[in-house]
Each structure stands twice: as structure tokens, then as C-alpha cells.
Chains A and B, each alone.
Chain A
Amino acid sequence: MYGVLFLKECKRTVKSIPYLILVVMLLVFGYTQIVPEFSMIEKPEPNQASYGVKYEEIPGVIMPSAAKSLYSEFAANTYVAYPLGFYKNVKLSDNKQARMADILSELTGTPKEDFMKSAGVKPETGSTLRIGDGSLMNLTPNGDGSYKLTIPKGQSSGSESAGSAITDVTVAKGLTYERFRELMKQADKLIGGGSMYDGIYLTRQFGRVPMTYDDALLQYNDIIEKDRISGAYARVFCDYFGLVLGIFPVFIAVALGMRDRRAGMLDLIYTRKASSIQIVFTRYLAMIVMMLLPVLLMAVYAAISVAGKYSGMETDGLAFVKYSLGWLLPTLMASTAVGVFLTELTDFPIAIAVQGLWWFLGMFAGMKHLDGGYGWDLFLRHNKIGNTQVFLDNFNTLLTNRILYAGLSIVLILLTVWIYELKRRGKLHAYNRIPKIFNHRRRKSAA
């Protein structure tokens, strides 16, 4: 009976319009955007002009770079931060700016007063700072709180202007990396969290160093040996499809969840012998399987396309399918479960708003580790072909994350079963509250 019901529920899913939209989206997106973007991974040759960049926690690189950045933000009193994942320009009070000057002073060994003078106290005068490559820039307030950066004309690098500004931000001698991290933590706290100086992002922001031939070769070998090429692309595949699966399934879950009530069929189904767990789980499973189908189809297509590109080299034929199941399935499960649960709870398409918000927040949260690193996001970003070591380094985070979301989905579905049974027995009437407003309106408009 389970099997037949499952097939019937699959059919019901397929026949819903949001499902068809999802399928078309996945196929078109995969076919025109993702797979064609799979550029060839070339083996690095010695004596290339550049091998790209990498991020490493090298104090000698991070410390001066972070100090310069902090000073320029301080001088402009405009700090970029992503609290809760949202982009924000933070402006600090005079009091906090003074404390920031303390931090800068310890960081650079320059007296606090110089910092106060150069920026915080009289921003109208504008200020000059020396940026990374040593050239000077003028910082002039625009009046609306933003600042304009200009390179002064005819001013040779090194010549000081008016003496008020600090032109060369260097790290104080003898500052240990540990103390530096502490200072950065304090700065982050002053800004309100989520700034570039937050411990997690320091390396990502300031640890940028050019890759050497050896580095590039190592990366290349990782892709060939550990990823067997396909894995390197599969992560990008998951990165893009995760964006879709983090939001679209909720429409299908809501549409199907509201359907019985819309059709006036609730009582006919409620009085059947099938248990609530059978009904809710079979429907959920049918939705998941049917939504996974186009993903797997694209996975097969991508695998074939990669194998074609690297004919003669060994690729992992199953990598895309494995990644789809391990990486994408929990995202699909969770966004569907949110739709199923909230729709059963409220008889209202509120899940679309909730999931929409979650997706939006996830988008911003993901910005911070766009090419790997993961974290607690619903859909995991990895917008870079390869980056194998980052993937391997964060594999445990990824695994925990995926297990968590799969588990969360199951819990939501179990709760849905419980609510379904309560409603079925007349012990819970979610619909009594909201739709009354609509009934009222309908009656009015009919009159």
C-alpha cells in the first residue's frame, strides 16, 4: 500500500505548477549557466607570471594589512560589517572612536592624539592616508557621512601634507600576534560584531598572498587525485543548485499542503484508514524524490560533460550524484519540511515568507565564505572550482551541518504528523483564526 500511495503522491506532485517551474528552472539553469561555466583546469607550468592568490594565516601579512584597513575605516568613521549576515555601514560615536584610537595607538605605536587629530575629531578637514602600496590618498567628507577617496594630483608619494594626518600605518614593534588578535577582537566588539576583524574572517580578509608554482601544483594535484577532477566541479554544481533548492521547494510544499483544503477533500481523507504518519511521510517523501530527480538528471549530464572534457584522464563518474545526495539533499529536505510544517500548522502560505527570509539571510551569511568554509548555512557556498584543501579542511563542519539539517527536517515532519493527527481529530483548528477575515471579505464582496 505504501508503494502505491507513494506513486500516487508522486503523480500529484508532478502535476502541480510550482513543481513544473522548479524542474524547468533547474534544467535551464544547469544547462545554460552551470555546466558551460566549467572551465578547463590547466596544469600549472613553471615560470608563469602569476598563479593566483591564496589565503594563509601569516602574521607578517595579516597584521600590517589589517592595521591599514582599520585605520582607513577609522579615519572615515565608516566600518563595514555583516552582523547577522547583512551588509552594514557602521558609524561610531566620538566616545567609541576614542577607544578605537586607543586600539590603533597600541597597534601602531603612534600616539593616540595623532589618530584623534587625523580623523575622529575634525573630519571636516579631511585626511590623508597611505594605502597598501604606499601611495597617498585624500579622504574628504561628502557631507552625508560618506567619504571620497582621491589621489592628490602631482603629489609624489612620501611627501607629507600639513602634518595632521598619519600617512604611514605600520605595526608597532614587538606586538605579538596573540595581542594583535586580542586588539582585533576589541575592535570588532566596538564595531558591533561581524566586522572584517572578527577572528574567523581575518585570514580571509587580510591573509592574501600570491601562490607560488609549488602551491599551484599542489592544488592541481589535489584536484586530480583527491577530487578525481569531477569533485572540483561538483562543489560548484552544488553551490548553484543549493541557491535554488534553498527556496523553491517551499512553493511546492505550500501548494500541495493547501490543496486538500482548497479541494474540499479534507474530511474524505481524514476519515480514511491510513495513519497520519503514513499520509504525511509518504507525501513528503514523494515531494523530495520528485524534486531530486531533475537535480540527479543534471548531475548525470554534468558528469558526462566533465568526462568528455577530460577524455583520457580519470574522472569520478559518481561524484556529482554523491555530492547531490550528501550536499544538496539536506537543503532540499529542510526547505520542503519548513513548507510542509508551517502550512499544516497555519493553513496559510506563511512558509513562503519565512523561507524567503531565511534564504535572504543565508545569502548574506554565505558571502563571508563564498568559496568554502561552510558554517551553519542552509545552503553551503563553494563558488570556486577546486579549492580542494578548503573543502577537506572544513569537511567536518560540512558533515555536521548536513546531518543537522537532515535531522531538523525529520523533526519538522514528525511535528507535522502530530499536528495533522490533532487536526484530523478536531483537537486543533488552525484555520479558525485567519481565514475568518477572508470569509468576511468574501461575503462582503458578494453582497
Chain B
Amino acid sequence: MSGNEIVIRNLNKYYGKKQALSDVNLVIKHGMFGLLGRNGAGKTTLMKTLATLLNKKSGEINVCGTPIEHAREIRRMTGYLPQDFSMYPGMTVAEAMDYLGVLSDMGGVERKLRIPDLLEKVNLTGHMKKKVKALSGGMKRRLGIAQALLHDPKVLIVDEPTAGLDPEERIRFRNLLCEIAEDRIVILSTHIVGDIEATCEDIAILNEGRLLYTGTVHDLTASAKDKVFSVTVPRQNLQIIKDRYFVTGMLTTGSECHVRLIADQKPFPDAEFCEPNVEDAYMLYLHRNGVEKQKLGGEL
């Protein structure tokens, strides 16, 4: 068990009778780690458990050599950005950071140096005197990242940080996370495949509390090789294709439809092989593991 990774063994978690995590085994290494899964897959549950906010039923978790039960030690080395959060609305950005910094046991000098630095990093320097309630959704998320980094944690856990951000902001955010991940473990959850594709090397796919895949993005994509096709069909045939195959993308021009789909074999003579992307591979994975087509359709 190395001192620089998170090791999860046979993790089980229940909410009352409902099992939210079943036998999760996972090793998370240095760098960006992506946690992918549909709504209700258990991503937040797993992350909260890592952040000592939830109590597991059974299994072992070891964070950089420290068992999760040593909550105080874990808190010292973990930064957490919740999926839903806010701060005292009446406080200014700088005050809120200072308050949380004190709760993180940071000294006065350390706070004075680090807080402007972090706010600069997340591009909030100009808003330091602004009340938290006056921030936009995107600004609030950036403030969220800044507070999670306050005490320079070894492990950073961010739960769907890009939700609700505009495309430009999202790219900035991803880049920021990559930069942060250079010298620590960053665990990022999302159901937006694009975030993962752009930033992570290692990922895990969760579905209904079970781990479907862990490995590199590259291997995941490779597993969908020769399974992705593109075809142009008349518009009226679209429904038949949708019923029969996994459609991962389509573009309608006039009476024609360009469809991107997943199939085990070439579905039509004129279908062309496509280079698979992470999204294709993700859908294929879910499909192979028994997730119904209709359910997936709703996700896209």
C-alpha cells in the first residue's frame, strides 16, 4: 500500500435498506481521476465517503497510508468541493475564505498570503469584496474550488464541478483542475463525458453502485474499436434505426439524417467505420452491462 494513492477495498454503503455502493474496489493514483456515471450511480456517495462525510457499511479505505477512520487526519489532507453548496450569503468572498481558512487551522500569515493567491488562480481577484450572495453560479463554483484548495490538500475531491458552467468557463475550469492535479490526487465526478475526455487519464465508471470499469481512458476507447459506425439514412427510417441500435449522435439535413451508432457488426453495407470516442465507449460499456437502451437514450 503506497503512501501516494487511495485504495478502496470491498466498499459497501447503504442508505437505510437501499444499497448505494456494492463491493467497490478501486485504486486511485496521483493525477486526475475521473468518476463517470449516470444520475444516481453513486458518485456523490463515493466521494462523500472519501471525504469522511458518510459512514460506510463495510470495506476498507486507505488514503495515502491513512485509514479513513482517522477522520481528523483525512480532513487535514483532503479538500472537498460538494455538488451542492453555498456559503453564508452575507459574507464577502474574502471573509468566507478567511473563515474557512481558520477552521482549517491556518495561521494568520498563511491566510493572508494564500487567499489572494488562490482567488487569483480562480480568477476572482476582482470580486474579493463582493458578497457571496451576489456571485453568479460559475463564480460560486470557482470560489468552491478555491476553498477546497485552501489548506493545500494532498487529495482534492470535486463533485461535478462543471455543472452549470458556460463552455468557456468549463474549459477554464478543466485546465485549472489539470494544473492542480500536477502535484496531487484530484478526483473529479461528472456525467459529462467531454470533461473526462479532456482531462483524465484514469477513470472509473459507476452504475447503480457497482464499478463497471476502471482503467485508462485510452483502453476504454479502444474497447469500442470496430463497433462505431456512421451512416446516412432517409429521415423516415430514423425510428427503426433508433429502435435497433445505439444512436450516439445524429445530424439532420433536409430529408436526410447522418447517424452515429454503435453495433457489434456492420449494420448496413454503406455504413462506415468511425474512430470511437469516449462517449461511444461509455455507452457501449453501460449497454454491455445490461443498462437498457431507453434509459441510456434519456441520458444523451
Asked if A273 contacts B48 (CB within 8 A), the reply is no
Give bound CA distance, A274 to B75, whole Å: 9
Asked if A275 contacts B103 (CB within 8 A), the reply is no
Q: Which of A94-126 contact B (CB under 8 A)?
A: none
Give bound CA distance, A272 to B108, whole Å: 16
Asked if A265 contacts B78 (CB within 8 A), the reply is no
For the complex formed, measure the closest distance between the CB of A393 and the CB atoms of chain B, giving whole angstroms: 49
Give bound CA distance, A436 to B21, whole Å: 23
Give bound CA distance, A269 to B71, whole Å: 14
Give bound CA distance, A26 to B55, whole Å: 45
Does A259 reach chain B (CB closer than 8 Å)? yes
Chain A residues near B291 (CB-CB < 8 A): none
Asked if A265 contacts B54 (CB within 8 A), the reply is no
Asked if A268 contacts B89 (CB within 8 A), the reply is no
Chain B residues near A1 (CB-CB < 8 A): 102, 105, 107
Known A1-B107, A273-B72; judge A426-B85 contact (CB<8 A).
no
Asked if A4 contacts B53 (CB within 8 A), the reply is no
For the complex formed, measure the closest distance between the CB of A36 and the CB atoms of chain B, giving whole angstroms: 37
Asked if A271 contacts B88 (CB within 8 A), the reply is no
Does A264 reach chain B (CB closer than 8 Å)? yes
Known A264-B84, A425-B53; judge A273-B103 contact (CB<8 A).
yes
Asked if B104 contacts A272 (CB within 8 A), the reply is yes
* B89 nearest in chain A by CB position: A263
Known A263-B89, A424-B53, A425-B53; judge A268-B102 contact (CB<8 A).
no
Does A325 reach chain B (CB closer than 8 Å)? no
With contacts defined as CB atoms under 8 Å apart, how many contacts are there between chain A and chain B in the complex?
A: 81
Contact of B105 (CB < 8 Å), options: A263, A269, A273: A273
Q: Which of A245-284 contact B (CB under 8 A)?
A: 259, 263-265, 267-275, 279
Known A425-B55, A426-B53; judge A268-B87 contact (CB<8 A).
yes
Contact of A264 (CB < 8 Å), options: B55, B86, B99: B86
Contact of A8 (CB < 8 Å), options: B80, B102, B147: B102
Asked if B75 contacts A267 (CB within 8 A), the reply is no
* A264 nearest in chain B by CB position: B86
For the complex formed, measure the closest distance between the CB of B117 and the CB atoms of chain A, giving whole angstroms: 19
Asked if B53 contacts A263 (CB within 8 A), the reply is no
Contact with B along A1-24 (1 / 0, CB 8 A): 100110010001001000000000
Chain B residues near A4 (CB-CB < 8 A): 102, 108
Chain A residues near B48 (CB-CB < 8 A): 267, 426
Chain B interface residue number, banded: 20 to 34
Give bound CA distance, A271 to B72, whole Å: 9
For the complex formed, measure the closest distance between the CB of A202 and the CB atoms of chain B, giving whole angstroms: 57
Does A444 reach chain B (CB closer than 8 Å)? no
Asked if B102 contacts A273 (CB within 8 A), the reply is no
Asked if A274 contacts B105 (CB within 8 A), the reply is yes
Does A427 reach chain B (CB closer than 8 Å)? yes
Give bound CA distance, A420 to B273, whole Å: 58
Does B221 reach chain A (CB closer than 8 Å)? no
For the complex formed, measure the closest distance between the CB of A321 and the CB atoms of chain B, giving whole angstroms: 31
Known A264-B85, A271-B78, A426-B54; judge A15-B104 contact (CB<8 A).
no
Known A1-B105, A259-B88, A273-B76; judge A426-B82 contact (CB<8 A).
no
Does B259 reach chain A (CB closer than 8 Å)? no
Does B227 reach chain A (CB closer than 8 Å)? no
Does B43 reach chain A (CB closer than 8 Å)? no
Query: B82, B85, B90, B103 — which one has the most chain A CB atoms within 10 A of its CB?
Result: B103
Contact with A along B57-75 (1 / 0, CB 8 A): 0000000000000011001
Known A263-B88, A265-B88, A425-B55; judge A271-B108 contact (CB<8 A).
no
Chain B residues near A15 (CB-CB < 8 A): 90
Asked if B53 contacts A274 (CB within 8 A), the reply is no
* A425 nearest in chain B by CB position: B55
Give bound CA distance, A272 to B148, whole Å: 9
Does B151 reach chain A (CB closer than 8 Å)? yes
Contact with A along B147-172 (1 / 0, CB 8 A): 10001000000000000000000000
Chain A residues near B78 (CB-CB < 8 A): 271
Chain A residues near B214 (CB-CB < 8 A): none
Does B52 reach chain A (CB closer than 8 Å)? yes
* B71 nearest in chain A by CB position: A425
Give bound CA distance, A280 to B82, whole Å: 22
* B74 nearest in chain A by CB position: A271
Q: Which of B164-198 contact A (CB under 8 A)?
A: none
Contact with B along A279-306 (1 / 0, CB 8 A): 1000000000000000000000000000
Asked if A271 contacts B86 (CB within 8 A), the reply is no
Chain B residues near A8 (CB-CB < 8 A): 98-99, 102
Give bound CA distance, A199 to B74, whole Å: 61
For the complex formed, measure the closest distance between the CB of B82 and the CB atoms of chain A, giving whole angstroms: 4
Contact of B86 (CB < 8 Å), options: A5, A12, A263: A263
Chain A residues near B88 (CB-CB < 8 A): 12, 259, 263, 265
Asked if A267 contacts B80 (CB within 8 A), the reply is yes
Asked if A268 contacts B151 (CB within 8 A), the reply is no
Does B100 reach chain A (CB closer than 8 Å)? yes
Chain A positions within 8 Å of B, measured between CB atoms, are 1, 4-5, 8, 12, 15, 259, 263-265, 267-275, 279, 424-427
Supplied contacts A269-B100, A425-B55, 15 more A-B pairs, CB within 8 Å:
A5-B102, A8-B102, A12-B88, A259-B88, A264-B85, A268-B82, A268-B100, A271-B51, A271-B52, A271-B80, A273-B76, A273-B104, A273-B151, A425-B52, A427-B55
Could you pull out 14 A-B pairs where Cβ atoms are within 8 angstroms?
A: A263-B86, A265-B85, A268-B87, A268-B100, A271-B51, A271-B75, A271-B78, A272-B105, A273-B151, A274-B103, A274-B104, A274-B105, A424-B52, A426-B54
Chain B positions within 8 Å of A, measured between CB atoms, are 48-49, 51-55, 71-72, 75-76, 78-80, 82, 84-90, 98-100, 102-105, 107-108, 147, 151
- Shortest 5 CB-CB distances between A and B: which pairs? A264-B86, A426-B54, A272-B103, A267-B82, A426-B55
